[in-house]
Structure formats: structure tokens, C-alpha cells
Amino acid sequence: MRHLALAAALLLIASPAALAGAQKEEALSLSVATAMQRSINDATAPRLVFASAGEGQAWLAEMSGRLKKKIPDDFMREKLLTAIHYEATRAGLDPQMVLGLIQVESGFRKYAISSVGARGLMQVMPFWVRSIGTNEHNLFDMYTNLRFGCTILRHYLDIEKGDLYRALGRYNGSLGKPEYPNLVLGAWKANWDWQPGAVRLQTVAYPAK
């Protein structure tokens, strides 16, 4: 896995093409579609969700420093990170894992479009707007894209009974293949892994077992 972590770290420096694969459109049950629509339409303003304000500010400062080369503007960077943390947390996802996914999918490019038409930061396929959204949902809008992306990944995680590796495969349309899940997990561990009070090692490799 060491070489995958290195490759994932290099993605943060480069400007990769949008990576989203052929994610499959599926028929959703009424209960699932309703739950996803309810999630998409929640109008609560994004905020950091931490046990204390100090912990939230420590996380924001740490992640902001790591993202600065990709997004130099302080206000926009912190706005994005706050939205990522909120949307990931409300979907029951690790915000740092979502940062790794965005790094791999779009390189943090808001207007990225893949070869199969996936859009935005989390490379959401337009068919999801038909399935659980409305014509007013713009997948190039930062908040909308994160809301859809996190809701969709949560849906796949539920299908796979908590198996993140398989859920990531579904998200990319490459279920059963190791490359994409390994890239996301590698990016997460190499660039975004963090615990309150922890000192980040300056390395792109996985720590020794």
C-alpha cells in the first residue's frame, strides 16, 4: 500500500483529470428515494460539528494549512472545509475520508467534469438530480455538490452494510476493482488523517505496523 499512498499524495500536487467512473443509475425504492430527497433538501447552514469550539478551530486550522496550495484564498478554503465537515458528519462519514475522495475525484476543482459527465468536487453524475433532486439543483454549486456526494456515498455504504471499500467502488462505478478505493484510502491516510492533539508526520507513506 506504500506506493498507493505516494500516488495519492502526488495527486494533491498535480492537476488530475476528473476521475469518476461509470457510476450506475439504479432504481430506488420509494423509502430510499424519500430519505435521500429529505437529506438533499435540508436547508441547514453548514457549520463545524465538534464537541468543543476549540477542537473545531484546531481541525480547521490543520486542514486549512494542508489545503492551502490548492486553494490559496483563506476565506474560500475555510468555507469549503466547513461545508465538507458538516456534510460528511451529517451523512455519518469521516470528513477526512471525504477530503481524500475529493482529492482523488476532482483535485478540489469545483468545475471539474469527467469523461462520463460527472460534475464538481465530488464528481456527481447528473442522473442523481433526476432521481432525488430538482431542476434547480446545480452540481457545480459547492454546497449542492457536497450534499449530493455525501448523501450518495452514505446510500452506498448502507447497501454494503458499512463496507467502505465496496461503497467506494460503487461510488466510482468500479465495484470489485481495487484501484479506486485504494487511491481514496491512500489519499486519506497520506494527506488528511488527523486526530485532536496529534502531530502530523511529514511523510506520504503509511505508518509502520
Which residues are identified as catalytic?
105
113 DSSP 8-state letter: B
Distance between CA atoms of 130 and 144, rounded to whole angstroms?
14
CB 149 within 8 A of CB 121: yes
Q: How far is CA 8 from the centre of its chain?
A: 14
